[in-house]
Structure 1
Amino acid sequence: MKVAFILLALLLTGCQAVSLQVENVPEAIEISTFISDKQVYSSQEDITFTVAVASPEESEVKAVVKGIKPYSRNYIEVEETHILHKGDNQLSFSSKTPYCTSGCGGVNPGEHDITLEVFKEGDLITNKTITIELTR
């Protein structure tokens, strides 16, 4: 709206050539992509998560990737502090899948949620959840 008003004002005042460059910057921190390197994993396998996040300004955030929670604790939990730059940012997290059994103390095979949470100054700003599959 502001851009249209400025352009209209410039046109009405007789300016003939107007060059305006607008950055594609979000109003708040946004997660555009949260993916794992594969969809299906076996026990004790390396797993890498890739995140694309956009920020309206440079800011320090805490990013937490956690999940596979069959009991009351997360079997994957990675917490890192990052400095986000204005615009698009790419983050990467690595972990290992838990030991997968058919029960009896391990994690059951099947689908499990993994959640990314982004905190700024201790407040949860945004989150996104994906699902992966564990096999024995």
Structure 2
Amino acid sequence: MLDTGIARPPSPTYTAITPVTRAPEKNVPAAKTDLPAKETVNPSSETQDGRRSADNEQSQRAAQRTTPQVERRNVVDPDSESLVFVATNTDTGQVLRQIPSETLLRLRAYAETVENQQTEESSQPVQLVV
């Protein structure tokens, strides 16, 4: 009787590459200190939290100055009869994003008119002149 199992070599073992194994000499502190770790000075958590909240307020104010107010709406294009998403800047009235683009809408309208013309021509009787 034949054994139908697949003979595979054992999977290789991998060692994790950590900063210690990659460059052990870089893990030594730059300056040796005489103080044990318990006696060293740690930064206060209060000042860090206060600093973060101040930074967040500044970044929010900056974001409000640079981020335009956007009006988003869905419109049905009358020429191609397809749904169009338009994002407009409410301050300037400029269109920021339109999906599908104006070019694609024009191409669709052009393709539809060409198709209609071809079907009209094919439906007319052909007159042969001899």
Which TM-score band applies after superposition, normalised by the shorter structure? under 0.3
Give the TM-score normalised by the residue count of structure 2. 0.22
In terms of fraction of residues, the more helix-rich structure is: 2
TM-score for the superposition, normalised by structure 1? 0.21
* Bigger CA radius of gyration: 2
| Structure number with higher strand proportion | 1
